[in-house]
Amino acid sequence: MCGSRLPPGEAGRECRDLEDFVMKMQNVQDLMTTGLTYVLDFEEQIAKAAPQMQQASSDSDLKEAFGKTATKSKEYASRIEETFSKLGQKVERNDNHIAKAMITEVEHMIQNTDPGPVRDAALIVAANQQQLFRVASYGSLQSYAKLLGKSDAAEGLEENLEDSKNGDEKFTSIAESTVNEQAKAA
């Protein structure tokens, strides 16, 4: 099956790429490093998309929360870059296709809803999905750092993890305190 989707003359490249990928992922250190590259790109993409979510929302608390999202994403990215440094590694990025898909879904939500509480409720779902992606990512990465005895690297990841949990709670609170009831009544 290797190379079956490649143009003539490039058959076998797919297998070599897969081999390189498998070779890179041979241990927990590799998992951690690779995870950092993806979550860094995630944060950078979300930082760019957050203003669109802020502008599209109607609820003042939600607008404020999305305003903080861009700032928080930049803080998280900075901590990830510091983590690379603490690990003695060069900062790298890998395209995070999950972030791209989440942002595309947000764009569809905005296009397919009118401004108001229903759109706000949909945007909160998107925000919670982003927060939970962070919780999963930072939880795993800080666990790897601790496992590898890199407590200094684990600290920034733990901070990102706790902030992400708090962000999820904040968006849920906005939904439950006002937005969901307003959406129901719309």
User: From 2.40.110.20, 3.30.300.30, 1.20.1260.10, 1.10.3720.10, which CATH number describes the 27-185 domain?
Assistant: 1.20.1260.10
How many angstroms separate the CA atoms of 10 and 22, rounded? 20
- Domain edges within the chain: 27-185
Q: What is the pLDDT of residues 147-162, one digit of tens each?
A: 999 999 999 999 999 9
Who contacts 160 (Cβ-Cβ below 8 Å, separation ≥6)? 76, 79, 80, 134, 138
Average pLDDT over residues 6-32: 59
> How confident is the model over 89-99, as pLDDT tens digits?
999 999 999 99
Two tokens, residue 57: 């929302």
Residue 103: C-alpha distances to residues 30, 37, 51, 121, 138 (Å): 27, 18, 12, 16, 20
